[in-house]
Amino acid sequence: MTDLETKLNYLLRKLNIPLRAVWIPDPKSEQHAKIDLDNGLILIYDEDEDSAIFSFMHEILEYRISHLTTTYRKIINSLIELIEQLIYREKEEVLEQLLVDFKIFAENRFL
């Protein structure tokens, strides 16, 4: 573990954030840093320490506010599910009516 990682992980403990910081300098990375919740990590790809600290702070802020977007996402997904159920019921009603229509056409030799 580098000195920077030691300092960042100390801050995470002080902030009561249940993640571990890992500094993996990668000049080819398209991201500065990211949170990997599945593994409990903040991965930092910046090469120089100042940029890495800035990216670390950004990810801390992201972590703190992410629950806000999660709540909205749950609400929106629930609305989408409800709308899909309504549309499905309406579609089934139309299909049933079309079958009745075709039956009437067939009985009257229009098909």
For the domain that residue 29 is a member of, what is the CATH number? 3.30.2010
At 2, the pLDDT band (50, 70, 90 cuts) reads confident
Domain that holds residue 56: 3-107
Instruction: Kindly state the average pLDDT of the residues 24-51.
Output: 96
CA 64/CA 59 separation, integer angstroms: 9
Mean predicted lDDT score pLDDT of the chain: 94
Residue with the two structure tokens 């009603």: 93
pLDDT in tens, 6-28: 999 999 999 999 999 999 999 99
Residue 45: which region, alpha, beta or left (left: phi > 0; alpha: psi -120 to 50)? alpha
Alpha helices of 15-48 — where are they, by DSSP H? none
Domains contained in the chain, number: 1
Portion of the chain with pLDDT greater than 70, in percent: 98
Q: Which residues of 41-61 are buried (b: 16+ CB within 10 A; e: fewer)?
A: ebbbbbeeeeebbebbeebbe
Q: What per-residue confidence (pLDDT) applies to 111?
A: 60
